[in-house]
Amino acid sequence: MKVSFYFTVFLILIILKVVIAPDSFSQETQQPTRVELIRADEMRFDRSIAPDARRLIGDVRFKHEDAIMYCDSAYQFTVDNRFNAYGNVYIQVSDSVEIFGDKLYYSGKTRIAELHGNVKMIDNQMTLTTEHLYYNLDTNTANYIDGGKIVDAENTLTSIWGFYNADDKNFFFRRNVELVNPQYVMNSDTLRYNTLTEVAYFFGPTTIVSDENTIFCKNGWYDTRNDIARFSRDAYFTNGEQYLSGDSLFYDRNRGYGKATNNVLLKDSVQNTLVTGHFAEHFEHEYFSEVTRNAVLTVVAQNDSLFLHADTLRSIHDEENDRRTLFAYYKAKFFRKDLQGLSDSIVYNFSDSTIYLYNNPVIWSDTHQLTASRMEIKTEDDNRIESIHLFDAAFIVSMEDTSAFNQVRGRRIVGYFKENELRRIDVFGNGEAIYYVRDEDENLIGINKSLSSDMRIYLEDNMVSRLVLFTNADANLFPPEEIPLEERFLQHFRWITDRRPQKKEDIFVW
């Protein structure tokens, strides 16, 4: 059977209609609706402006889909499906969004409203004011480019550029962004802010200033309702006297709690100290801070800074008495050119410049090694050592040569320093001493062995120059050959110079 050419064409047209028709109907449904004029006190035609121009005067109202628009007067262009409105412009976008202005250009094709002069947009969470606003009724988004201000229950925000999505209540701001809260002022380059959650996200250099402190970062977020924030990228926190920085900072203003992680730096300009580590916590209301993970304290001095490492460094501030104390525990070890030491735990009282060492500490000063159950180091204002107090099983040793050691032991020993050099040793209780006596040419004369309840030893150039015995004294000078090697050491003698830090990096070696 032959199929005619016309029947073939008819079938093709039917197929095309079936395939294309849904798109055709979809396009028809997407055609913009007409702007409807609801009322006006007076209407005139003004063909000098456009052939279809209507001049509308007095209580003018338009309706386009769900939105109703009011004004004092307007020009309506029916062919282009648009109008220009003037005076007391008001748009009722929805139950929750209203817009006011002096002038409005509205297109029914794009559903974009362009408002000028004293523009105000109000929703349930905030009020936006600007001089020039674009509002898209299709997407419920607003945009300003010449500066605007947002006010909600607690915050006032201004910026040069702003974008608002009324559906999800998200604002985006650029250039000269400033958020003013009763407790702080935030300045940023780029900011995203949600009026429902009241959470601000910032991108680019951002500063938050309050009466108590200043915070800076280049990335982060701030929950303005709950005063909780996280900051990253060059982030730091300062109150004028203390400075805290790290790769990431977390801050809860209500709890007064701050946390820093990775590459943490804490500076105290009052105490002239630096603390570094990889994890830090600050408890504002309890007045203490704690640093762990490679924690190091640096007591800054012009010529000779002290470096101290421990598993944990904790700083406590007694606000009532204005006293600051640092606790270093465990495995505390420190280095300074003229003083090194280690201890299970160390306490540094900044108010009287005293360092307390607990649990069998060891101190090295020049050629001397000092050990005891616990110690106190008293320093002067310029961080020079004034005295070292050794309590219980106190022992001071200095090496003459590889097998000869000067030794002093007692229940309690106090070593006095001048220009950071040990000059005098006072022994209290069960005093014993062994020291090597030399002539002016450094030739060995003999070995002195002394016993006394209390004794005083004077040193010059780290050598014993004079010995004074006070109670139950017994002192003898023996030729070296009369003292066997095993009798040249006092009981509980230890020489542990292998643990002595030779440089600041050694404080990490326990």
Q: What average pLDDT does the segment 168-186 reach?
A: 91
Flag whether pLDDT at 358 surpasses 80. yes
Give the torsion through C-alpha atoms of 474, 478, 482, 488, to 10 deg. Answer: 70
Q: How far apart are CA 478 and CA 100, in angstroms?
A: 107
Q: How far apart are CA 122 and CA 164, in angstroms?
A: 12
Q: For residue 239, give both structure tokens.
A: 């109150």
* pLDDT of amino acid 430: 93
* pLDDT of amino acid 11: 31
Peptide bond into 75 cis (omega under 30): no
What band does 50 get if pLDDT is binned at 50, 70 and 90? confident
* pLDDT of amino acid 438: 87
Burial zone of 27 (CB within 10 Å; 0-12 exposed, 13-18 middle, 19+ buried): exposed
Query: Residue 290: which of 319, 270, 318, 261 has the closest Cα?
Result: 261
Flag whether pLDDT at 2 surpasses 70. no
Does residue 117 lie within any of the structural domains? yes
What band does 26 get if pLDDT is binned at 50, 70 and 90? very low
Q: For residue 33, give both structure tokens.
A: 């609706």
Q: What average pLDDT does the segment 111-131 reach?
A: 93
Does residue 262 lie within any of the structural domains? no
Flag whether pLDDT at 15 surpasses 60. no
Does residue 53 lie within any of the structural domains? yes
Does residue 78 lie within any of the structural domains? yes
More confident residue, 174 or 195: 174
CATH code of residue 50: 2.60.450.10
Number of compact structural domains in the chain: 1
Flag whether pLDDT at 38 surpasses 70. yes
Burial zone of 275 (CB within 10 Å; 0-12 exposed, 13-18 middle, 19+ buried): buried
Does residue 102 lie within any of the structural domains? yes
The beta strand positions in 253-384, using DSSP E, are 257-268, 273-283, 288-292, 296-299, 306-309, 312-318, 323-336, 339-349, 354-358, 362-365, 368-371, 374-379
Flag whether pLDDT at 319 surpasses 80. no
- Domain span at 74: 33-146
The proportion of the chain whose per-residue pLDDT surpasses 70, expressed as a percent, equals 94
Flag whether pLDDT at 55 surpasses 90. yes
More confident residue, 30 or 228: 228
Mean pLDDT of the chain, nearest integer:
88
* pLDDT of amino acid 30: 58
Secondary structure (H, E, C), 384-412: CEEEEEEEEEEEEEEEEECCEEEEEEEEE
Does residue 255 lie within any of the structural domains? no
- Which 8-state DSSP code applies to residue 95? S
Secondary structure (H, E, C), 16-39: HHHHHHHHHHHHHHHCCCCCEEEE
Q: How many CA atoms lie within 13 A of 322 on its CB side?
A: 2
* pLDDT of amino acid 441: 83
Residue 15, SS3?
A: helix
Residue 128: alpha-carbon gap to chain centroid: 32
Does residue 459 lie within any of the structural domains? no
- Using the structure block, give the residue that is written with the tokens 């001048």: 418
* pLDDT of amino acid 387: 94
- For the ranges 15-24, 161-170, 192-201, 311-320, which has the lowest average pLDDT? 15-24
Q: What average pLDDT does the segment 160-167 reach?
A: 92
201-234 pLDDT, tens digit per residue, is: 999 999 999 998 899 999 999 898 898 999 999 9
What band does 400 get if pLDDT is binned at 50, 70 and 90? confident
Flag whether pLDDT at 341 surpasses 60. yes
Does residue 448 lie within any of the structural domains? no
* pLDDT of amino acid 152: 85
Flag whether pLDDT at 29 surpasses 60. no
- For the ranges 62-71, 330-339, 374-383, 501-510, which has the lowest average pLDDT? 374-383
